[in-house]
Structure 1
């Protein structure tokens, strides 16, 4: 009788040790997964499914509340309910993001963005806006605003033809030009709706 109890105790002890070892391995695997998780993957998860608005704190002290609708490796598009169009935010201008706790935990699972989305850099998106002649308002990190149309977008800067908001980009309506480094951008307000693929 005592031996049966002895072997049962040994089995229980062995089961407990195996459970503890498995839990330690699971914890270490989770730490490694989180160590490899990028902000791009978390933002992609938020853009795929978010339950509430996300606060985006920007360089220069401003904030915007809205729903992430698309993300790229160095940008985030936010629908903040503006009647014009989405706000395109370079990640370099993001100071912090404030999702709900549930969305924060869900984003920690990450998403696997498509290979195409991984190649859609801010320059790529801005070149597409230039090709489509989408009017924009650029918000700089120092609080200035520039309204116009992007004529060209290079690897790290863009050329903006300045004109009044709501007017088309025509030579006789252009009031000047600005060459703007991407690092000076806090946000790009699209002045008309654009679908992000």
Structure 2
């Protein structure tokens, strides 16, 4: 996975982080909510959620970023992700199994197997981790809000059971949403389904 770059943007982020930390030192830590962020285990989803996690950390919130074991290991191995978030004392990474073997590709035509495994393995483990306090902050603060990937359905069930509000976060772009809204019009216009076309080459 490739996450972020360096340069002036990174320096600006560091300056904002220092300012935020200065404010945090003047306020009791207990005032800051503890937000659990749980992305779908796919690169684009994880990267978008990491952006959100950084923005919320800059705002002084306590953040727990819950990733699958497989994706977390890739982040640690191929990026400077730990250094990037080290400036936020209220931030922590936690991981959870996705139930798939280590050599599973988790991509392409076999990506849908990730959903089946998450339903079977990750969902009950997530409920157990939430109920037992394994996802509490480093200071023992319980989760006060869950921001879950819009492609995952079970966090809202767990949140309702434990009395924790859940926010669904969709990461697709505005143009993608617009394409979805146009599907019905394209069907009525006969443009969908796309018909097979033949290309004639004249020599």
The TM-score bracket by the shorter chain reads: under 0.3
Would you tell me which structure has more strand in proportion to its own residues? 1
Would you tell me which structure has more helix in proportion to its own residues? 2
Report the TM-score, using the length of structure 1 for normalisation: 0.25
Report the TM-score, using the length of structure 2 for normalisation: 0.25
Instruction: Name the larger-Rg structure.
Output: 1
